Amino acid sequence: MTDIIKDFERVSPQLVAEASQYQAAILADVAGRRGALNGRIQALRPRMKVAGPAFTVEVRPGDNLMIHAAISLAKPGDVLVIDGKGDLSAALMGTIMMTACKQLGIAGVVIDGAVRDTLEIDEMDYPVFSAGSNPNGPTKNVPGRIGHPVSVGNVTVHAGDFILGDADGVVVVEREKLAGLLPLAHKKVEDETARIAAIKRGDTAAKWLAGALRTAGVLKEGETL
């Protein structure tokens, strides 16, 4: 099998546009509380948001050779999803590479590793989600893989899966499951909106709480808080 897979099925632009309206938390909930990347991977700035199909990249710690190759291969709208092995000893991307990504129409970057030039990336207003930052530069010597499944933030990501990142973090939804989850996401938003309105009217009691406490053995039958 080749180390570089150039062609794979992506979640459609129509589904990306519809799904991008939701918060990452909403999609994570309707996906069974699965798919959220480890919280160490966060937006460089809370306002940043990214949505699109995953373009997966695997590198060796501290080396960004394959990221350069991925930038030249990714399509407009793709999100680079980079398995940097959680290494924070050197930045794998900085202003130059992020500028190229933006110029090429790549939607954003999610990297289980470090970046640098964070103030300049902030000024670019380009969505970047990383495990941290480091002023050290990378090497460009070691082979890796493109288009293969990767593990990012303790979650398996396949090329073409849907990626959504916002101030809470990043969630991945399997490409073939996204369409079926969107009606559930719409209903959840409606339900939460109605519940928040009820709370503001004074209905603050959690109706499910007593039953859950009894099930957990905290309250006996007939007892209340």
Tell me what percent of the chain is helix, strand and coil, each rounded to the nearest 5.
30, 25, 45
The pLDDT value recorded for residue 223 is 87
Q: How far is CA 194 from the centre of its chain?
A: 27
**Average pLDDT, integer, range 69-80:** 98
Whole-angstrom Cα distance, residue 162 to residue 9?
11
- Is residue 224 scored above 90 in pLDDT? no
The pLDDT value recorded for residue 176 is 97
Contact 104, 134 (CB under 8 A): no
Q: What is the pLDDT of residues 16-49, one digit of tens each?
A: 999 999 999 999 999 999 999 999 999 999 999 9
**Average pLDDT, integer, range 203-218:** 93
Nearest residue to 70 via CA among 50, 49, 93, 37: 93
- Is residue 1 scored above 80 in pLDDT? no
Provide CB contacts within 8 A for 24, sequence distance 6+. Answer: 36, 164, 165, 166, 168, 169, 170, 171
Q: What is the pLDDT of residues 83-125, one digit of tens each?
A: 999 999 999 999 999 999 999 999 999 999 999 999 999 999 9
Domain chopping of the chain, boundaries: 13-181, 183-215
Q: What is the pTM of this model?
A: 0.94
The pLDDT value recorded for residue 225 is 87
Of 16-30, 113-127, 146-160, 208-222, least confident by mean pLDDT is 208-222
The pLDDT value recorded for residue 222 is 85
Q: Centre a 10 Å sphere on the Cβ of residue 84 and count the other Cβ atoms it contains.
A: 30
Does domain 13-181 sit in CATH 3.20.20.70? no
